[in-house]
């Protein structure tokens, strides 16, 4: 079984890019450990090709090399927060809703062409982290992701909603220093939700169904 983690800095998480088997220090590492423990009799290859600062447009640039050529059995995809954040930081790059939908659909079509199963993770910004002025645009893009997930995904993890619920009673710094990039607890939180969502898919793949 070949599992591909793909996305931006939350997936990259300091990985050694010269070795795509290096999973970094984030949720991919924790999720891989959970999966390996649950499927000890299954040979599993884990690949991390997340790249910090990537937007949906960057994934289109590497569709062939970093999706199709890999030929994964399962893709775990987290992308979209930089399509919002980079509109408001020094990059000042706006991704309109229409362009975002086109970009993401192009990526999802490429994944579908490989025959891989797909777990989509929702982009998020944690409440209380001084990013509330971006929420309207983020919500717009989340609505697009959710709609596309119904078309293309085998499972969807609503991370923005999940972190919103958690940070009602806990400060966002429990999970992240800046409300986006997870610390160890945040990475473990994401990994558990990824594992829970992917488990039925993994069981199907392990059984050769």
Residue 78: what are its φ and ψ, rounded to 5°?
-130, 110
pLDDT at 3 exceeding the cut of 90: yes
pLDDT at 116 exceeding the cut of 90: yes
Q: Extract the tokens encoding 2.
A: 């070949």
Nearest to 20 by CA among 70, 56, 57: 70
Average pLDDT taken over every residue of the chain? 97
pLDDT at 90 exceeding the cut of 90: no
Q: Is the dihedral of CA 96, 99, 105, 108 positive or negative?
A: negative
pLDDT at 209 exceeding the cut of 70: no
**Which pLDDT value is given to residue 208?**
84
pLDDT at 84 exceeding the cut of 80: yes
Structure confidence at residue 201 as a pLDDT band (50, 70, 90) = very high
CATH superfamily name and code, 2-206: SGNH hydrolase (3.40.50.1110)
pLDDT > 90: percent of the chain? 97
Residue 126: count other Cβ atoms within 10 Å of its Cβ.
24
Tell me the average pLDDT across 155-159. 98
pLDDT at 137 exceeding the cut of 90: yes
Residue appearing with tokens 């706006």 = 94
Distance CA 31, CA 157 (A): 13
Tell me the average pLDDT across 136-154. 98
The pTM for the full model equals: 0.96
Reported as a single tens digit per residue, the pLDDT across 18-67 is 999 999 999 999 999 999 999 999 999 999 999 999 999 999 999 999 99
Concatenated DSSP letters for the chain?
A: -EEEEEESHHHHTT--TT-TT--TTSHHHHHHHHHHHHTTTS--EEEE---TT--HHHHHHTHIIIIITT--SEEEEE--HHHHHHHHSTT-----HHHHHHHHHHHHHHHHHHT-EEEEE-----TTSS-GGGHHHHHHHHHHHHHHHHHH-SEEE-HHHHHHHHTTTS-GGGT-SSSSS--HHHHHHHHHHHHHHHHHHHHHHHTT-
């Amino acid at each position: 079984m070949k599992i591909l983690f793909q996305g931006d800095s939350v997936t990259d998480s300091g990985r050694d890019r010269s070795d795509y088997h290096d999973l970094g220090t984030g949720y991919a590492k924790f999720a891989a450990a959970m999966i390996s423990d649950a499927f000890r009799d299954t040979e599993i290859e884990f690949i991390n090709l997340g790249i910090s600062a990537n937007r949906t447009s960057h994934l289109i640039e590497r569709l062939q090399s970093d999706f199709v050529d890999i030929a994964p059995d399962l893709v775990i995809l987290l992308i979209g927060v930089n399509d919002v954040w980079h509109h408001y930081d020094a990059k000042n790059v706006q991704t309109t809703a229409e362009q975002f939908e086109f970009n993401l659909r192009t990526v999802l079509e490429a994944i579908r062409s490989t025959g891989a199963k797909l777990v989509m993770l929702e982009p998020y910004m944690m409440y209380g982290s001084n990013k509330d002025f971006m929420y309207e645009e983020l919500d717009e893009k989340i609505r697009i992701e959710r709609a596309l997930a119904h078309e293309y995904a085998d499972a969807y993890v609503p991370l923005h909603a999940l972190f919103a619920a958690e940070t009602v009673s806990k400060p966002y710094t429990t999970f992240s220093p800046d409300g986006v990039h997870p610390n160890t607890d945040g990475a473990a939180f994401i990994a558990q939700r990824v594992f829970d969502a992917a488990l039925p898919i993994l069981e199907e793949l392990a059984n050769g169904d």
